[in-house]
Amino acid sequence: MADSQAAAGPAGYRNAPPFLMIVIAFCSAASLGVSTLALLNARARDVATPGGGGAAHAAHGSAEERTRHELGEFLVNLDEPDPQAFVKTTIVVEYAGGKKSGEQKEGKEKAPEWEVPVRDVIVSTLSQCRRADLRSEKGKEQLKKLLLRRLNQTDDPSAPKFLAVYLTSFAMQ
């Protein structure tokens, strides 16, 4: 009789581990699924925020919306003794707030009110430059910083706060 109990004992334990393994596997799969969905949902929320910067954008704490506006091409004589010395460049400014583009009028965009004074500041700044100053990358960086500083000093009340100046094309003669 002892043999029959000994044989039944181990057989009773054989059924418990597979059931326990199934429960553990099910809990692990459910936990993995829930955490994956939570991660994807949080990432989708970050990417959907204005500016599309995601978590990196939120980490910088910048809730300021930025807008870019292409000012077009500038052809300006440089401050050189040679009357043929000029720079030809296309400039894009980035500023805080504002609309993504100018108002629509008969299929064409209307320029913002502040564009004319801004263009004037850029022309006067470029006309004070010399070739030697603008040849190097460092010189171009200094020009962008100077333009940004002067754009933010304008007396025009309609002008926004400018955040960056980009030179999208640049040629000198």
| Number of structural domains the chain divides into | 2
pTM: 0.58
Query: What pLDDT is attached to residue 32?
Result: 74
110 and 29 fall within a common domain: no
Residues 72 and 154 in one domain: yes
CA angle 91, 93, 94 (to 5 degrees): 150
Taking residues 50-57, report their average pLDDT. 45
Residue with tokens 């010399």: 130
- Residue reference for tokens 């599309």: 52
Residue 66 predicted with pLDDT over 70: yes
Considering the domain architecture, whether residues 13 and 98 belong to the same structural domain is answered as: no
From the centroid of its chain, how far is CA 35? 28
Q: Which pLDDT tens digit goes with each residue over 81-122? A: 888 889 999 999 999 886 554 444 454 567 788 999 999 999
On whether both 30 and 56 belong to a single domain, the answer is yes
Return the higher-pLDDT residue of 40 and 52: 40
CATH code, 107: 3.30.479.30
Same domain, 76 and 145: yes
Classify residue 80 by its DSSP letter. Answer: S
Q: Which helix (H) or strand (E) holds 24?
A: helix 2-47
